[in-house]
Amino acid sequence: METKSENRCFGGLQGVYSHPSKSTGTEMTFGLFLPEEANDGPVPVLWFLSGLTCTHENAMTKAGAQAFASEYGIALCFPDTSPRGDDVADDEAYDLGKGAGFYVNATEKPWAPHFRMWDYVAEELPELLGKSFPIDLDRQAITGHSMGGHGALTLAMGLPGRFRSVSAFAPICSPTQSDWGTKQLGAYLGPDKSTWAAHDATLLMQDRGLDAPLLIDTGTDDQFGDLLKTEALASAIATRRQPATLRMQKGYDHSYFFVSTFIPDHLDFHAEALFA
């Protein structure tokens, strides 16, 4: 593992690191904020999964999460959204290929050799953090924005017992019913739609629900609202009687101005679960 940068931040340390990944077969980069408490022993970790076109850097620099994580003594991990490299398949469109991994393990050409972001985020990166940093993997929580919100929800329901709390900012809630999903799942997983269900938060909620507290914020003026399918997940939550808080925030859009406004609420929410 290579240290790309380390900066003092709210009493802790914001680092950026790269390493060769067995999952993707590429060099992967991630950001990790360690609060001051990490000097004395392992601390809980909150994963922040980012959205389309993003790298590890977007949420790390725009969400403002470190200030609030430092108050509680929580580490923050910011993975990349896809594999990178000259030999990695890509597409001219912004919503497929590099920056658009959708947190799945691709099975179709030309994506299959490198686009294994489920394995990377679910298995490889947690193992690396546990071995290399003072991280308590028995206390994990997860959040994400847009495509990353989709990833946070599907990982949490696909890995029961892993996360003590789950939240999302403007998540893609039903990709099997949205242009932000049918295109990508079809490309990465193929035409058999039965394989898509494991990556649709609404279908997962209908089928199995969630074993952790859930908080979702979405803006009423989100310019991508029709693609998010928030109402589908809300219906599934209500039908299942899943304990959850889903808030429509008046006047807010899809940007990091929205995310940074409500990040304190989400850190409060996760801290309550991580330190219970």
d(CA 252, CA 250): 6
Burial (CB count <10 Å: 0-12, 13-18, 19+), residue 242 = middle
Q: Are 80 and 274 in contact (CB under 8 A)?
A: no
Hey, is 64 helix, strand or coil? coil
Q: Which of 162, 175, 91, 93 is nearest to 121 (CA)?
A: 162
Q: What is the DSSP letter of 120?
A: I
Our separate counts of H helices and E strands in the chain read 10, 9
Q: At what angle do helices 256-274 and 65-72 cross, to 10 degrees?
A: 10
Query: In the structure encoding, which two tokens stand for residue 87, read together?
Result: 């030999």
146 catalytic per annotation: yes
Tokens of residue 41, six digits: 């022993």
| Cα–Cα dist 112/120, whole Å | 13
Q: Which one of 56, 150, 199, 254 is the catalytic residue?
A: 254
Question: Alpha-carbon distance 100 to 179, whole Å?
Answer: 13
Under 8 Å between Cβ of 140 and 127:
no
Nearest by Cα to 272 from 165, 168, 167, 169: 165
- Of the candidates 80, 200, 217, 222, the residue annotated as catalytic is 222
Choose, from 146, 165, 167, 174, the residue flagged as catalytic: 146
254 flagged as catalytic: yes
Task: Tell me the C-alpha distance between 129 and 15, whole Å.
Answer: 12
Active site residues: 146, 222, 254
